[in-house]
Amino acid sequence: MHITKYGVKNSIFNTFVWVAIAILTSLFASCNMGTEATDAPYYDTLYDHMARAMSTSHDAVYIRRSDSILQHTKSPGAYLYFKHLELKSGYYYETGKLDTAKLLMDSCAYVLESANLTEKYPMEYAHVLDARADYAFTDNDLDRAFRYYSKTRNIRLSVHDDTCALSNATYHLGMVSYRQEKYAEAAEFFKEAISEISHCGDHFTKYNRTQEEMNNIALSYTNLKEYDSALKYYTQALVFIDTGAARYTGEPILPVAKDKARGVVYGNMAKILMALGRVDTAEQLLLKSIAINSRPGFENKDAMYSNMQLAELYFQEGKADKAGALLKDLRVALDTFRNPAVNLRWHKLMYEYARRRHDLGNALVYLEKYQVLKDSAQQTIERLKKVDYGGLLKDQETQYQMSMLKKDAQLSKAYLWSTVGVVGVALIIIALVSFSYRRGRTNISQLTGLNLQVNEQKAQLEEAMVQLKESNDDKDRILRIVAHDLRTPINGIMIISDLLMQEEEDPEKRESLEMTIAAAQNLLHLTNELLEFSGNAKLADKGVLESVNLNELMRQTVGLLMFKAQEKKQIITFNTIPYPVVVDVYKDKISRVLSNLISNALKFSKEGALVKISLIVEENDAIMKVEDFGIGIPDSMIDHIFEPFTPAKRHGTSGERSYGLGLSICKQIIDAHKGEIWVESKEGQGSIFYVKLHIKEGSRPATV
């Protein structure tokens, strides 16, 4: 580096000015990180209307409309796929297909997580986790449900930081206590939830949740045999159902919601009246409850409880034939809607019915089944009673507050150092200007000394860079910083280009702007791959292993890539193993490997081509196989395809870009799982990629 004596003042001054501008620009960009043009508000409004209409009609026409929206939307994006899957999950839930609904909700979570949208759409992500918690509650997996609930609670607090955000969490704690048969504790949680709901905005959900909590309090008092208190809250709930609805007269689903709520309260009140000996009034309430909630689109599950209570009432009155007919009809509903509590009581009453008819053979069968179900239910309750979820919540609250304080401290420290840096640069600039103004030209000896000093610093910097390259940890850190900071200017380029293109009418300029946006999108994809590449070195530091059924994981991943195959009219087939193949893996990472391999198969196959996905079991190993019939890999490249930044990269059959990182990421992940990945390929005939993982010990069936 050489500096002329006449250029010293301007050269040094300009250098520090540009350094200052770069620092200030970086700070401004970091403050505005994450802004991105999106159609999310439009999709939210559209799908909210469809979901509301579908909740009352249960009509599959809305699913077909969503399919049509996907087909006719150019580059729909991950958020639209999320809204589509969420709508389908709601449809299958309302129609009683809970297993399908649960799988679709898992796919919703996968789409948001894999597309890095959880921070951009935190409330949508919290809603998904809430639904997954509900399914875990249904399966009596309260530990898993509690984890999801805690995560959603922290998300809502970090977004809103208000009392309303706590209401959903408090409601779930009440449900946990209720299942633990801690009814007094549950009632207090439900009362607290009502208080917290009162701080929420004026939304129809507030109306529904308030009357539901009143009903839950009354149920808790019913189980405590405090019938006066229970009837008081049931009466309050019925009054609120009418008076509270006055604020929502324009809500299209209000009439159905009011009827549903009344039907639930009628059925629950009947239980108290039966205990008090007021059988006639109890029967009337039960018949009203069943008439309301047995209709399609209403609370069919609650109608099952009311039918069961009515059968018990008929037995008390000696009307065994009426009870038997009711129980037979109820069996049909139980085969459609899973309800363990009603199923247990059903077997008990069928035993009573068979005994009264002197059908001792069937009576014994029903009694044995009842005892098995009762023992299982009792074991579940005893297990739940051992866990203090309230204490766990307090521990998590403390940990969350500590993490937030630590994060605030780190942020304050970062702002402080940024301020110090900016002030320091400003002082240096002022000093240099003053120095340059006073001294003017310097002599040759000073310039020579300065050149020597700069060359020494350059040599030191080169030595530091050599040491930096030798350190893999430093390499990963630099990759993450560079890739992360690049995303902000790239997003800025995309936003500005998109705004210019919307206002530009000249076709040639619009074409140039489209090319700019496409180039920026490619750069954004590259930075994401750099982040992924640098983040896979130590998987064990980033999470815990999960026991995963590869059949289901592969099915979900293939399903999410079907839309990508449709872009080139390609076909994906998938063959599974007829029993669970369980492996201990980092679920999202293995899904990423399979997604990369399938995406490559689609990329390097021609339009209309076939891609075959299959799962094979060999002794104690599971092998995922991805086969295509595309352009294949030349022999000269095949030994280098798993290397990072490999030169063995080519464009896809439709011109798709490749950055030489995807397969190296796959190998990193599989190596971390102590598995194997390899390829068989012949140029012009296609490729077969294999991924071998060890099956979890003891999980494979003895016979198939």
Question: Same domain, yes or no, for 545 and 682?
Answer: yes
The answer to the question of residue 453 being in a domain is yes
Question: Same domain, yes or no, for 336 and 454?
Answer: no
Angle at 451 between CA 447 and CA 453, to 5 degrees: 115
Q: How far apart, in whole angstroms, are the C-alpha atoms of residue 21 and residue 614?
A: 55
Q: How far apart, in whole angstroms, are the C-alpha atoms of residue 621 and residue 699?
A: 12
The confidence band for 161, taking pLDDT boundaries of 50, 70 and 90, is low
Question: Same domain, yes or no, for 546 and 687?
Answer: yes
The answer to the question of residue 200 being in a domain is no
Angle between helices 254-275 and 227-243 (to 10 degrees): 160
* Alpha carbon distances (Å) from 213 to 183, 193, 234, 545, 581: 14, 7, 10, 38, 42
Q: How far apart, in whole angstroms, are the C-alpha atoms of residue 629 and residue 684?
A: 8
The number of domains in the chain is: 4
Question: Same domain, yes or no, for 292 and 361?
Answer: yes
Question: Same domain, yes or no, for 115 and 130?
Answer: yes
Identify the pLDDT of residue 617: 93
In which domain, by residue range, is 377 found?
Answer: 252-383
The mean pLDDT value for 191-212 works out to 86
Question: Same domain, yes or no, for 517 and 560?
Answer: no
Residues in a beta bridge with 610: 571
- The answer to whether the beta carbons of residues 36 and 120 sit under 8 Å apart is yes
SS3 457: helix
What's the one-letter identity of residue 456?
E
- The answer to whether the beta carbons of residues 17 and 429 sit under 8 Å apart is yes
Query: Closest Cα to residue 85, out of 113, 65, 66, 60?
Result: 66
Question: Same domain, yes or no, for 543 and 645?
Answer: yes
Other CB atoms within a 10 A radius of the CB of residue 80 amount to 22
- The answer to whether the beta carbons of residues 699 and 582 sit under 8 Å apart is yes
Q: How far apart, in whole angstroms, are the C-alpha atoms of residue 405 and residue 400?
A: 9
Please list, in sequence order, all residues whose beta carbon lies within 8 angstroms of the beta carbon of residue 371, skipping any fewer than 6 positions away.
none
What CATH number did the domain enclosing 617 receive?
3.30.565.10
The mean pLDDT value for 340-351 works out to 88
Angle at 96 between CA 95 and CA 102, to 5 degrees: 105
Question: Same domain, yes or no, for 579 and 544?
Answer: yes
- The answer to whether the beta carbons of residues 311 and 349 sit under 8 Å apart is yes
Q: What is the DSSP letter of 631?
A: S
Question: Same domain, yes or no, for 643 and 549?
Answer: yes
pLDDT, tens digit (0-9, with 9 covering 90-100), for 467-526: 766 665 556 555 555 555 565 677 667 777 777 777 777 877 777 777 677 566 656 666
Domain boundary among 383, 398, 422: 383
Question: Same domain, yes or no, for 562 and 511?
Answer: no
The mean pLDDT value for 407-436 works out to 75
pLDDT, tens digit (0-9, with 9 covering 90-100), for 97-136: 888 999 999 999 999 999 898 888 888 898 898 888 888 8
Question: Same domain, yes or no, for 604 and 524?
Answer: no
Provide the H-helix boundaries in 142-200: 142-159, 164-179, 183-197
pLDDT at 583 over 90: yes
Report if pTM > 0.75: no
Other CB atoms within a 10 A radius of the CB of residue 218 amount to 26
Question: Same domain, yes or no, for 515 and 581?
Answer: no
Identify the pLDDT of residue 20: 43
Residue bearing tokens 């350094």 = 19
Identify the pLDDT of residue 476: 59
Q: How far apart, in whole angstroms, are the C-alpha atoms of residue 659 and residue 674?
A: 26
The answer to the question of residue 291 being in a domain is yes
Please list, in sequence order, all residues whose beta carbon lies within 8 angstroms of the beta carbon of residue 82, skipping any fewer than 6 positions away.
108, 111, 112, 117, 124
Identify the pLDDT of residue 602: 92
Q: How far apart, in whole angstroms, are the C-alpha atoms of residue 160 and residue 179?
A: 30
Q: How far apart, in whole angstroms, are the C-alpha atoms of residue 698 and residue 690?
A: 24
Q: Burial of 686 by CB count in 10 Å (0-12 exposed, 13-18 middle, 19+ buried)?
A: buried
